[in-house]
């Protein structure tokens, strides 16, 4: 079976090989940079579709809520959370299920001036192991869509947020499975949502470029990582019409 024929993985840790090897090559980042142009957050070196505009919007929402202690769920290699925490001038805690990503995030904290103010831990979105009410702000960038038990994830986020704390996240939301019901059942109120303009076209352009550059990506990141990315690039575009990328904000009920 060639990479393009592989089914789309639903494993929560499916990007482990990509995140573990991302620093070894430039092709993947060049694809995003070429397509996103000035809106590409080069310093963040994200794996995914986050833009500078997204980061500014996320930081702005959290700033309006006067966030003082920030949690990043599904932090990956740390860049987006570190950028936002630095912008807000607040301490950061990040959790991710992929140990290699957590290690990379810890190593990157110093480059954001956050070495003494950021800590990263291996943990799942459904069981962070963090104290109840430990944060008044939480962010997640393009990660919660991968969590199988979304009800448990939002219950956990409600648990670790103080009453009145703000959650803001980007994700893909299937039309048949809106996030509102999960958030409401977990105890969140003041839910707002907006579709991220232009995201679909940029995502499709990225997927097409990944398919064109599959060989280079395989040489740089390894066969397993290339197969994951190629399968996603093959199957995902057909899903995007009914699965827009959105930014959602909600408040932990008092």
- Quote the pLDDT of residue 48: 87
Q: pLDDT for 147-170, tens place per residue?
A: 999 999 999 999 999 999 999 999
Q: Which residue has the tokens 């008044």?
A: 136
Express each pLDDT in 22-42 by its tens digit.
Answer: 988 899 999 999 999 999 999
* Ordered domains of the chain (ranges, CATH): 11-253 (3.40.50.150)
Q: What does pTM read for this prediction?
A: 0.94
**How confident is the model over 205-236, as pLDDT tens digits?**
999 999 999 999 999 999 999 999 999 999 99
Q: What pLDDT, on a 0 to 100 scale, did the predictor assign at position 11? A: 85
Average pLDDT, the chain: 94
**Which two structure tokens, joined as six digits, stand for 126?**
């459904």
pLDDT (mean) for 131-151: 96
135 CB contacts (<8 Å, ≥6 apart)?
A: 69, 70, 71, 93, 160, 161, 162, 165
Residue 25: predicted pLDDT: 85
SS percent in the chain: helix, strand, coil, step 5: 50, 20, 30
Q: pLDDT of 38-76, one tens digit each? A: 999 999 999 889 999 999 999 999 999 999 999 999 999
Helices (H), 37-127: 52-64, 79-88, 99-108
pLDDT in tens, 75-127: 999 999 999 999 999 999 999 999 999 999 999 999 999 999 999 999 999 99
């Amino acid at each position: 079976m060639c990479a393009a024929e592989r089914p789309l993985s639903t494993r929560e840790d499916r990007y482990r090989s990509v995140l573990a090897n991302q620093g070894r090559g430039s092709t993947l980042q060049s694809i995003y940079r070429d397509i996103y142009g000035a809106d590409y957050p080069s310093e963040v070196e994200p794996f995914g579709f986050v833009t500078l505009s997204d980061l500014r919007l996320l930081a702005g929402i959290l700033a309006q809520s006067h966030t003082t202690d920030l949690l990043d769920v599904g932090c990956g290699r740390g860049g987006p959370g570190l950028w936002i925490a630095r912008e807000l001038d607040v301490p950061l805690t990040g959790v991710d299920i992929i140990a290699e990503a957590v290690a990379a995030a810890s190593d990157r904290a110093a480059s954001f001036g956050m070495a003494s103010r950021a800590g990263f831990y291996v943990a799942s979105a459904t069981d962070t192991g963090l104290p109840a009410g430990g944060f008044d702000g939480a962010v997640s960038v393009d990660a919660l869509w991968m969590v199988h038990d979304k009800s448990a994830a939002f219950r956990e986020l409600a648990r670790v947020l103080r009453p009145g704390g703000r959650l803001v996240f980007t994700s893909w939301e299937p039309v048949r499975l809106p996030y509102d019901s999960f958030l409401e059942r977990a105890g969140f109120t003041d839910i707002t949502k907006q579709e991220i303009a232009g995201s679909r076209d940029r995502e499709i352009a990225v997927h097409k470029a990944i398919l064109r550059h599959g060989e280079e990506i395989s040489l740089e990141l390894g066969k397993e990582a290339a197969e994951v990315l190629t399968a996603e690039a093959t199957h995902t575009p057909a899903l995007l019409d009914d699965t827009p990328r959105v930014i959602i904000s909600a408040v932990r009920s008092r």
